[in-house]
Amino acid sequence: MEPELKVTRAEVIQRGILCNCPNCGERGLLQSWFRLNKACACCKMDLERSSGFYSGTTSIGYVASIIFIIIPICFLVGYKVLSVGAGIALGIVGTFGFMVLIYPVMLCWMVMVYHVALPQDLPRNREGLPPRDEA
């Protein structure tokens, strides 16, 4: 049986949407626009993950770009509001710009998704439990 969580999945989602630390709920995840801190500025929770951790931002970005940039442009081209060439150019520039604009949010959401899946990895949820074996 899983021990009772001090930080619930719902709290992790709420904190993640606002780009706050999933452990303490404070701001402090972002080092810069394109980088997470190595640890939360407030509670010092480790934010470094395996090398594949950041690849999730690419998946989120692709889906968001398709929904918010590519599909609307396809409709505009289909209804002949834009030419095909203009649609392609706008799609390339728009997708790149959109990805840069939302990148900090994608980083925060990857931390959120990880801890929604594994809430027991949060330090607050590990308090009072025996240390886990790091293999």
Q: CA-CA distance, 123 to 131, in Å (whole number)? A: 11
For the cut 70, the answer to whether the pLDDT of residue 33 exceeds it is yes
Report whether 36 contacts 53 (CB < 8 A): no
Q: What is the mean pLDDT of residues 68-78?
A: 97
According to the model, what pLDDT value does residue 73 have? 98
DSSP state of 36: E
According to the model, what pLDDT value does residue 55 have? 65
Using pLDDT thresholds of 50, 70 and 90, give the confidence band for residue 58.
confident
According to the model, what pLDDT value does residue 2 have? 61
Q: Regarding predicted confidence, which is higher, 91 or 129? A: 91
Please enumerate in sequence order all residues whose Cβ is within 8 A of that of 11, keeping only pairs 6 or more positions apart, or say none: 22, 25
Q: Name the CA radius of gyration of the chain, rounded.
A: 19
For the cut 80, the answer to whether the pLDDT of residue 15 exceeds it is yes
The conformational region for residue 111 under phi > 0 = left, psi -120 to 50 = alpha, else beta, is alpha
Using pLDDT thresholds of 50, 70 and 90, give the confidence band for residue 96.
very high
Q: CA-CA distance, 126 to 124, in Å (whole number)? A: 5
- Of 114, 35, 50, give the one whose Cα is nearest residue 122: 114
CA 85, 89, 92, 94 torsion-angle sign: negative
According to the model, what pLDDT value does residue 61 have? 86
